[in-house]
Chains A and B, each alone.
Chain A
């Protein structure tokens, strides 16, 4: 057998797995949901994009995704910047502390917010203790809880993406700008941030895509009042067993993520060649 033939054979098991375990079933969502005609799915998809209830869920999902993305960049970039420019041995420890949560189960990480934001939770007790409110305010099952939970979940991703970008910006450029009389703030905004843009775009894409598809956090912290696309998808498929709606929700979610990733990849490439 030729060398090429051998290599092609090596691909076969993987391709078979992908075809039967991923590609074919994924196609089925569009065309062959159990006992459902493809046309029903597309009709439901059309309804979803006009019905106020469904639109509110899509809007809430995208809105929370954008907020979480903004918060993760606002907190993650400074952390990445400090870590990348740190020369002390604490830099390594802080970097490890930022990456470690990625290894830890989402359920475990999200559960912490139940302890903090719950009715007998730490934050409520603190607010009452300092006389800011008389009774602990309702924080669990609010958009605020979801934003906190998702920020905790995705901040490490934002930090890693920004960190690798900032590390590639020569620290000598900072010094040069400062030497030429630019203020610290001006050096940061006019030199460091623009040069790290590709990493920022990657960070934003990862966080946004993660936020609009996350299930555990909205389920635990959003309750039944803050429904998002992910919790709707689960309840259509496993509670109400409405395949057309489940498929339509899956399609909306996939388009949202693929669209954002594609646009971001475009921007990233343009940034790299500019």
Chain B
């Protein structure tokens, strides 16, 4: 860090401490041999990892979270990618309006979307929790799918597709040989981002949960409320390790900057 800007450097160090040190404390606490969140930890052991991995509510919730994240990511892409094509290649009237509509779930607070789905679908129309959770998560991921794959499409040259069509390729052939390869990095980024967003989501899962469909973050929040032991730290550390793996894959394949550049546009 540049030492010739002492104030900026000092603020930057404080910023990194606030962002990262709490995560380090979670990891340190996970390896304690004691039974409280006391710091410094009393000794070294893996007992809380054993406890977390054999605690049925957590393993069950992990399965729910994974199923929900995979299913909602798949649905959001299945519905979102065709929509992206229409928005960026269709030359349809009202393009801006349609795009705005697809991005609108980003503007409304997630808790509000959760409340809306809970009231209208679960209470009023008595729909089961699981389909509503899937619907809510998919709606939440749609903006990401459209924006991130749209960024890949917007950065490409339309004339490639026109040339293929002009040379006699069918629309389907043009799609599979030209458009899809252009879209591929965008689809990959959107899938990664969608999976993580759904897996980590609290507000929607909180309001739409039932005993049979409770995700891991919600189960962890419940657990912290009842007991205050290092098992949550161990579970968190395992999630952290998995997230690091995903981050490395993201960085190696498409690059962080590309993925996040797509959202903040």
Contacts and interface: CB of A to CB of B under 8 A. Distances in A.
B138 interface: yes
A29 B119 contact: yes
B239 interface: yes
Interface string B2-31: 101101110110111011111111100100
B167 to A, nearest CB: 17
A107 B220 contact: yes
Contact of B79 (A17, A114, A233, A243): A17
Contacts of A155: 15, 18-19
Given A10-B82, A74-B11, 6 more contacts: A8-B86, A108-B23, A233-B115, A257-B107, A257-B108, A261-B107
Contacts of B46: none
Interface of A: 3-4, 6-8, 10-11, 13-15, 17-18, 20-26, 28-29, 32-34, 74-76, 78-79, 81-82, 85-86, 90, 94-116, 118, 120-122, 125, 148, 151-152, 155-156, 159-161, 164, 184, 188, 202, 206, 209, 213, 215-216, 219-220, 230, 233-234, 237-238, 243, 246-247, 250, 253-254, 257-258, 261
Contacts of A121: 37, 39
B29 to A, nearest CB: 5
A103 B207 contact: no
> Binding site of B, secondary structure by majority: helix, strand, loop or mixed?
helix
Given A17-B135, A96-B251, A103-B247, A4 B221 contact: no
B194 interface: no
A156 B121 contact: no
Interface of B: 1-2, 4-5, 7-9, 11-12, 14-16, 18-26, 29, 36-40, 75, 78-80, 82-83, 85-87, 89-92, 98, 101-102, 104-105, 107-113, 115-121, 123-124, 135-136, 138-139, 142, 146, 171, 196, 199-200, 202-203, 206-207, 217, 220-221, 224, 228, 232-233, 236, 239-240, 243-244, 246-247, 250-251, 256-257, 260-261, 264
Given A21-B136, A28-B116, A254-B108, A75 B14 contact: yes
A23 B236 CA distance: 35
B16 A97 contact: yes
A31 B168 CA distance: 53
Contacts of B120: 24-25, 28, 32
B139 A22 contact: yes
Contact of A215 (B26, B199, B203): B203
